[in-house]
Amino acid sequence: MDDILIIGAGAAGMTSAIRAAQRGKKVVVLEKMDKVGGTLSLTAGHISGASTQRQSYAGIQDTPDSHYSDIVRICRNTMDPTITRKAVDLASSTIDWLTELGYSFHDRTPAIIYGHEAYSIARTYFGKEDIHPKMQESGQTILRLLLPLWNEQVHKGNIRLLIRCKLKQIIVDKNLVVGIIAEQDDREFILTAHHYLLTTGGYASCPTFFENCTPGTSRLMSAANPASTGDGIKAALQIGAVFQGAEKQMYTLGGIELQPGSGRINFWEAWARMSNSIDRKQREIYVNIRGERFMNEYDWSVDQREHAILSQPGKKCWVLFDQRALYDGDSLVPQWTTDQMVQESYREQAVWQAPSLRELAFKTGLPPDALEKTVDKFNESCIAGFDSSWGRTYLKHPLDTPPFFAVLVYAYALISFGGIQVNNQLQVMREGGQTFNNLYAAGEILGAAATSGQAFCGGMLLTPAISFGKWLGDHL
């Protein structure tokens, strides 16, 4: 019998398999896709941790306690305290391990990152290749670091990889897992091991599951890994595991649905830079389906911006600008030049342009009178230098130079916030407070809310995925 059966070869699964195999354990890994890596091929790759060697070289004083306090502050204490404590405590050894492996840190790191609500101390890291000027591809720094270690253990026979092999069901006898049913090439079979580890990722690419478990979601807009269909969560629920945190789901701003009706956003193809006013100053205004502004577009708090969109019908809005704003500085969509934005407006699928606000309203379906009133009021604010509606302080110029443009953007799910509850040994909890003694879970299957609460705390998905995978690989 194999020592450990790992289901899902992403950040958590690969790391645990590598570490366990390096200790001489016999590991079998199931992966339903035709290659390993999971979301590591898509991720932006930001990782965060305090008291790292790299911070100490940079003379930065930081502790896991400060990291924990920052998370509590950012998410208003809505995370799982036990799991978050474990995550911040393990983070420095994870980042130091990556350092030993030769991780190609970007010179700017450790850094304070403003794409999410900012930490108070520079403790976020990413690789040199993770920052692409036009954000057109993922740097895959961590995947490229793990692959040689993975291949070494596969060649030694310590990791047996079953590719295109899918978990179908978990078989239990009271509080022990006694096997799983897997499917490969239309053939079902049973696999057994001493320990079982669920690292199948999240569910943000399964519209039915997501919409059913997330209050107030009528249509999922997702940029998640297409393989993130919640298989491990669904199998765990069938055996009575506890699922929690889905009601804390948060969304990323600025998703552009290039194929209307698809429900898909491609993070590396097109999104509107709405998440903060530090990386880019907004020349635009945002209007909801009623043609009204609903937030200060220049708000410094990323978290407040992310919460403002939650109460908008359809979690969508239109980013509105005129010809002058279009050419006055960097592009709203990092992947598009200004000319590409104009080209997109001719396609009339996600971007529209019109010589007047009334015609733009007609094309987008926005109420024309309300839209004109909103823009008139904003323009008056620009002239007065004071925004009485939302207190916006950056009022460079009125939107009065035709043609006018509107980009339809959605708040979209990059990751899922609900997940399987585990104890501090990462054993899966059963309803009634017991655990499955030989069933463990790590990574996004725990849900982003476990380590990030109802907010985005930088690096608090990928770092715990690697840390918990590593910890399990070292201990099982």
Within positions 414 to 453, which residues make up the interface with ligand FAD, using CB under 6 A? 414-415, 443-445
465 binds ligand FAD (CB under 6 A): yes
Could you write out the three-class secondary structure of the chain?
CEEEEEECCCHHHHHHHHHHHHCCCCEEEEECCCCCCHHHHCCCCCEECCCCHHHHHCCCCCCHHHHHHHHHHHHCCCCCHHHHHHHHHHHHHHHHHHHHHCCCECCCCCECCCCCCCCCCCCEECEHHHCCCCCCCCCCHHHHHHHHHHHHHHHHCCEEEEECEEEEEEEEECCEEEEEEEEECCEEEEECEEEEEECCCCCCCCHHHHHHHCCCCCCCCECCCCCCCCHHHHHHHHCCECEECHHHCCCEEEECCCCCCCCECCCCCCECCCCCCCCCCCCCEEECCCCCECCCCCCCCHHHHHHHHHHCHHHEEEEEEEHHHHHCCCCCCCCCCHHHHHHHHHHCCCEEEECCHHHHHHHHCCCHHHHHHHHHHHHHHHHHCCCCCCCCCCCCCCCCCCCEEEEEEEEEECCCCCEECECCCCEEEECCCCEEEEEEECCHHHCHHHHHCCCCCCCCCHHHHHHHHHHHHHHC
Select from 12, 180, 191, 274 the one that contacts ligand FAD (CB under 6 A): 12
Q: Which is nearer to ligand FAD, 42 or 449 (CB)?
A: 42
Q: Which is nearer to ligand FAD, 143 or 308 (CB)?
A: 143
Q: Which is nearer to ligand FAD, 141 or 435 (CB)?
A: 141
Q: Which is nearer to ligand FAD, 12 or 159 (CB)?
A: 12
Select from 18, 21, 27, 32 the one that contacts ligand FAD (CB under 6 A): 32
Q: Which is nearer to ligand FAD, 48 or 55 (CB)?
A: 48
Separation CA 455–CA 462 (nearest Å): 15
Q: Which is nearer to ligand FAD, 167 or 366 (CB)?
A: 167
- Give the count of residues interacting with ligand FAD (CB under 6 A): 43
Q: Which is nearer to ligand FAD, 130 or 299 (CB)?
A: 130
Q: Which is nearer to ligand FAD, 21 or 354 (CB)?
A: 21
Q: How far is CA 126 from CA 111, 466, 470, in A?
A: 9, 14, 19
CB of 113 to ligand FAD, least distance (A): 9
Q: CA neighbours within 13 Å on the CB side: how many for 350?
A: 23
Select from 4, 10, 98, 308 the one that contacts ligand FAD (CB under 6 A): 10
473 binds ligand FAD (CB under 6 A): no
CB of 469 to ligand FAD, least distance (A): 7
Region binding ligand FAD by CB under 6 A among candidate stretches 5-13, 66-74, 186-194, 242-250: 5-13
CB of 201 to ligand FAD, least distance (A): 3
CB of 449 to ligand FAD, least distance (A): 12
CB of 342 to ligand FAD, least distance (A): 27
Within positions 196 to 215, which residues make up the interface with ligand FAD, using CB under 6 A? 199-201
Select from 20, 233, 332, 462 the one that contacts ligand FAD (CB under 6 A): 462
Q: Which is nearer to ligand FAD, 44 or 357 (CB)?
A: 44
Dihedral class, residue 356 (left if φ above 0, else alpha if ψ from -120 to 50, else beta): beta
Radius of gyration of the chain (CA): 23
Select from 11, 87, 170, 350 the one that contacts ligand FAD (CB under 6 A): 11
Within positions 137 to 196, which residues make up the interface with ligand FAD, using CB under 6 A? 166-167
255 binds ligand FAD (CB under 6 A): no
Within positions 258 to 277, which residues make up the interface with ligand FAD, using CB under 6 A? 267
Select from 90, 159, 223, 420 the one that contacts ligand FAD (CB under 6 A): 223
CB of 40 to ligand FAD, least distance (A): 6
CB of 445 to ligand FAD, least distance (A): 6
Beta pairing, strands 285-287 & 316-322: antiparallel
16 binds ligand FAD (CB under 6 A): no
* Residues contributing to the site for ligand FAD (CB under 6 A): 7-13, 30-33, 38-40, 42-46, 166-167, 199-201, 223-225, 227-228, 231-232, 267, 414-415, 443-445, 459-463, 465
